[in-house]
Amino acid sequence: MMELFAVSVDAPGMSVKLSGALTDGGDVCRFELSPDSTRVAYCADQDADDTFELYAVELASPGQSVKLNPPLVNGGSVTGKFDFAPDGTFIAYSAKQDSAVRVDLYGVELNVPGLAQKLNAPLTAGGNVISFDVHPQGGHVAYFANQDDVNLYELYTVDLTNPGMATRLSAPITGGSGLLSASYAPNGEKIVYVASQESSTVQLYVVDLLSPGIAPRLNGPLVQGGEVWGFDL
């Protein structure tokens, strides 16, 4: 059984269990500390074995966790991908919440647990949200998904005041299958992403949020057979 604990660096060896009581076979799969360090969000099959859901617990109240997601469809599960907004009041997460065969992107206010909104635009049959990144100043979430074509992974952004109304950011895909990873620049004005966009070769691109669909390539010419493996901002 994998549980969640906290320990003060000033009191080594004096840990406290944060997660709530787990069902038989339950485990914590991932956790993230809030920006103000007052609470922890975690995913776990806490209430039903193999059904992972999203919880939050205040460090001042260990063991008293609150489930953040609403009830899941039969066979549904939270994926384990979630991210706090910069002010710590909101969490974006992906889940098979409304469909057991489709991953969507949701957002939930921590002071209103169980009332999550779907953020992504409607997905084509077979489409899924693959990953996402919360804007460094909050207010928006970028995500990549095979939203409009099941064979193409593209980059989108959604304003949290207009859930379900997404703007495609990535440039048109003229070869390959599209995005593999993406991240906001620290100032939040641009997004850098890795994609097989012009061909099957994976390369590095950048898009300005004010100029969606225009994404110049960042890397220089690659040796034959070369690819971009990753990046850091």
* CA–CA gap between residue 56 and residue 67 (Å, rounded): 7
Convert 50-82 to b/e letters by CB count within 10 Å (16 or more is b).
Answer: ebbbbbbbeeeebeebebbbeebeeebbbbebb
pTM (two decimals): 0.93
Q: Is residue 1 over pLDDT 90?
A: no
What pLDDT was estimated at residue 14? 84
- Write out pLDDT tens, residues 35-92: 999 999 999 999 999 999 999 999 999 999 999 999 999 999 999 899 999 999 999 9
pLDDT at 111: 94
Q: Provide the pLDDT confidence category of residue 27 given band limits of 50, 70 and 90.
A: very high
**Residue in the structure block whose two tokens are 């057979």:** 225
Dist. CA 81–CA 129, nearest whole Å:
11
**Integer CA distances (angstroms), 228 to 133, 194, 203, 219, 233, in order:** 20, 7, 5, 8, 15
pLDDT band at 8 (very low <50, low <70, confident <90, very high): confident
Residues 120 and 129: beta-carbon distance below 8 Å: yes
> What pLDDT score was predicted for residue 135?
97
pLDDT tens per residue, range 161-187: 999 999 999 999 999 999 999 999 999
Assess whether pLDDT exceeds 90 at residue 9: no
CA 80 from centroid of its chain's CA atoms: 8
For the chain, list the domains and their CATH numbers. 119-233 (2.120.10.30)
127-152 average pLDDT score: 96
SS3 call for 83: strand
Tokens for 28? Answer: 């914590």
Contact 91, 119 (CB under 8 A): no
